[in-house]
Amino acid sequence: MPVLGLDTSNYTTSAALFDGAVGENLGRLLEVRPGERGLRQSEALFQHVKRLPQILEELLRESPDIRAVGASTRPRAVEGSYMPCFLAGESHGRGIAAALGVPFYPHSHQEGHLAAAAWSAGRLDLLDTPFLAWHLSGGTTELLLVKPKGYTLAAEIIGGTSDLSAGQLIDRTGVLLGLQFPAGKALDGLYPQADACYEPNVKLNSLTFSLSGMENRVKGLMEEGARPANVARFAIDAVSNVVCRATQEARRRYPGLPVLCSGGVASNTRLRAALSEAVFAQPQYSTDNAMGAAILTWRAAQKEGNL
C-alpha cells in the first residue's frame, strides 16, 4: 500500500508515491528569470502553492489507497533550520493526511536526499547502518556521518565548505557564462569541449574547505577571455578535486564506512567518474525530489503499524 511524500525545495516542486519497493516521483522546476541567480523565498513559496495541486492531480489520477503522508518541513534536522518554501509541502501534506484520516510524518529535506539516493542506487540497506554521505547542492555542501535513528536518520556534519556551496559556484559560473539558472547540466555539457586546464587550488583544512576564492578565479578567467568550456571545466574541477580529497581523508578517519553521494551536484559526470568508489544516486534522484520523503514516510508507517 503506497504512501505519499511531498517536497517543496527552493527550486523544485515534487510529489511521490512509494509502496516499499516501487516509487513514482513527479517534479517541476520553478521558474527563474534569465540572468538571475536564484529566487526569493516569497516567490518560491508562491510558485509551489500554484504548482503542487497540479502535480498531485497527475500523480494521484488512479486514486491510490494512501496509508500515510510525509513532507520535507525544513532543510536539515537541526535546531533553527527553516525555509518558508517548505511550508507549501507541509501544509498540503497535513491537510491531505487529515482529510484521509492517516498519519502525517515530517522529515528534513536533507534526510530525503539521502533516502532517495540510497534507494535509487539499490542500497536501501544503507539506511540501517552508519555511513558517510555528501549532500552536494545549490544550498548545501556538507560531508556527513549518518546513523540510523528510529525510522529516520541522524546526520552529523564532519566537513564540507565553509562558505560558498558547490552548487553556488557552478550556478554562478553558469550565470556569468550567460547560461540558464540552475546551470549544472549546461556546465556538464560544456566540460568535454574544454581544450585547456586551469588547475584549481582549493586548500583542504582537515575536512573543510572554501570555494569563494574559486568564484573570484572564475571571474578572472572571464576577464582574461577564457573560452566558456574552459571556465566550466575549471569550476567543475574545483569542486570534484576537493570533494575527492576530503572523501579520502574521511575514509581514513572512518575506515570501512561506505560513502553515499546525494544532491544536484552529485549528478555531475566528472564527479561521478572521479569518486568511483562512492555510491551515487541515479541522476534523476540526485536533484531535488519527493521520493526520499515518501521512502522515510513508508519506513515510519511500517514501524508504527500503519501499513
Within this chain, domains 3-121+288-303 and 159-280 share the same CATH topology: yes
Q: 108 with 73: CB under 8 angstroms?
A: yes
> What interhelical angle do 41-59 and 86-100 show, nearest 10?
40
* % of the chain exceeding 90 in pLDDT: 88
Query: How many whole angstroms separate alpha carbon 211 and alpha carbon 209?
Result: 7
Domain edges within the chain: 3-121+288-303, 159-280
Q: Using 50, 70 and 90 to split pLDDT, how confident is the model at 235?
A: very high
Say how many C-beta atoms besides its own lie within 10 A of residue 64's C-beta.
Answer: 15
- β-strand 152-161 against 141-149: which pairing, if any? antiparallel
270-273 contacts: CB < 8 A, separation 24 or more?
Answer: 270/188, 270/191, 270/236, 270/237, 270/240, 271/136, 271/236, 271/239, 271/240, 271/243
- β-strand 23-29 against 3-8: which pairing, if any? unpaired
Single-letter amino acid code for the residue at 57: E
Mean pLDDT of 212-230: 97
The residue with cell 572554501 is 210
pLDDT in tens, 162-183: 999 999 999 999 999 999 888 9
The residue with cell 493526511 is 97
Average pLDDT, the chain: 95
Question: What's the CATH code, domain 159-280?
Answer: 3.30.420.40
Look at residue 14 and give its three-state secondary structure.
Answer: strand
Per-residue confidence (pLDDT) for residue 95, from 0 to 100: 98
User: In 249-266, which positions are buried (b, 16+ CB within 10 angstroms) versus exposed (e)?
Assistant: ebbeeeeebbbbbbbbbb
Q: Say if residue 182 is preceded by a cis peptide, omega within 30 of 0.
A: yes
Here the cell at position 167 is 552548487
Closest CA to 159 of 185, 137, 133, 183: 133
Per DSSP, what are the bridge partners of residue 157? 144
Q: 145 with 155: CB under 8 angstroms?
A: yes
Mean pLDDT of 212-231: 97
Range list of H helices, the chain: 41-59, 86-100, 109-120, 166-176, 184-190, 212-223, 228-253, 269-274, 283-286, 291-303
Query: How many whole angstroms separate alpha carbon 89 and alpha carbon 107?
Result: 11
Look at residue 88 and give its three-state secondary structure.
Answer: helix
Per-residue confidence (pLDDT) for residue 10, from 0 to 100: 82
Q: 135 with 286: CB under 8 angstroms?
A: no
Q: 246 with 143: CB under 8 angstroms?
A: yes
Length of the chain equals 307
pLDDT in tens, 13-54: 999 999 999 999 999 999 988 878 778 999 999 999 999 999
Q: Which CATH class is domain 3-121+288-303?
A: alpha beta
Q: Using 50, 70 and 90 to split pLDDT, how confident is the model at 238?
A: very high
The reported pTM is: 0.90
